[in-house]
Amino acid sequence: MNYMPGTASLIDDIDKKHLVLLRDGRTLIGFLRSIDQFANLVFHQTVERIHVGKKFGDIPRGIFIVRGENVVLLGEIDVDKLCDNVLQQVSIEEILEEQRLQQQAKQKTEKAKDNDPTHLQAV
């Protein structure tokens, strides 16, 4: 196997299932169909996977184009490897509700920190 610099090294990954982590925190899983010199990626049969605790849900997104500058991590998924079932798959509605509750709890914690007079802020 010859090493190719830059995005050309992704040519061998075309048509394989990948997970991509985006700068905004979203996780996408799909089949890599195309790349360009800017590392822009095109995925097919894409799902957005949302994790909350030990639960996850997949939201179908279809064909998805990702700008290369938004990619934090890209990795191939071994479709032949058996899933160890550490995480429990739930419905889209349930995972979205779990995510909403998690975000509310986080906001409440941050607000409490902001209102705490003992919380020191850098000046």
Predicted structure pTM score: 0.78
Q: Domains plus CATH for the chain?
A: 6-100 (2.30.30.100)
Please write the tens of the pLDDT for every residue from 38-74.
Answer: 999 999 999 999 999 999 999 999 999 999 999 999 9
- Check whether 117 has a pLDDT greater than 70: no
Report the alpha-carbon distance of residue 28 to residue 14 in Å, rounded. Answer: 16
